[in-house]
Amino acid sequence: MLRMLAALMTALAATTATAAEPPKVEIVGHRGASFDAPENTVAAIKLAWEQKADASEFDVYLTKDGKLVVIHDSTTKRTTGTDLKVAGTTLEELRKLDAGKWKGEKFSGEKLPTLEEMLATVPTGKRVFIEIKCGPEAVPEMDRVLNASKLKPEQACVISFNADVVAASKKLRPDLQALWIVSLSTKGKPKTAEELIAKAKEIKADGLDLSATPAVLDKAFGDKVKAAGLKLYVWTVDDVELARKMIAAGVESITTNRPGWLREQLAK
């Protein structure tokens, strides 16, 4: 009787422990921990690591002199207050701008980072998602910088809305994971899972990085993507219930502006 009771208590404890564990999903900082720090800066990515993000995402553009600078927009107006076109400006000129002050005085002096600077922050066991915002012409420079970094191939993932960028990345660096980004919430009829799978296969993408749109992305949709042998990731989720819906749909990785907070919420 005592043995049966002990076994029952052990099983109950295991069940309770399992229930308390957060879902097994990768948490990715969107442009770093951009809810709390200025997006796409060294401060933001370092904060993402402090918040225990599994990975961090950031955006890159080619400068006039062929360097990769970390910024989301094609111009510097929104995050620096100075309106310059990134592609028409040298890295040296861009580095003179303040990319942190808009988020608060304590971030004053934050520069637009280079790809090299962002990669240098990545701890062992963590990885980065490099979103190429321009075209395939950025892929060779990305490859050069990655080769010069301390990162292993499995620590870097290339993502882009531009299918040609994904194809070029897989051609030059087949050892790097590359995902095609697609918004499922665009106007008009959204693309079906079958259409997205076909295109992903055509460009040799390793998976899809989709907008977290529960009206389209449900378990049936997720099952089709995963059955095709593709990874399934989503962006940008700052709502715990939406995160749970995405996990139920079979998503493996969630990008969020609040990596620490979302992990805590999912563990409850």
Which of the residues are catalytic? 30, 72
The amino acid present at 101, given as its one-letter code, is: K
Q: Which candidate, 168, 163, 201, 167, places its Cα nearest to that of 182?
A: 163
CA distances from 247 to 23, 180, 186, 218, 242 (A): 8, 19, 22, 10, 9
Q: Which candidate, 96, 137, 135, 108, places its Cα nearest to that of 43?
A: 108
Helices (H) and strands (E) in the chain, counts: 11, 9
SS3 content of the chain, % helix, strand, coil (to 5): 40, 20, 40
Residues in contact with 96: Cβ distance below 8 Å, sequence separation at least 6, in sequence order: none
8 Å CB contact between 111 and 43: no
Helix axes 193-202, 219-227, angle to 10 degrees: 30
Q: Which two tokens stand for residue 64?
A: 């006039």
Q: Which candidate, 48, 139, 50, places its Cα nearest to that of 58?
A: 48
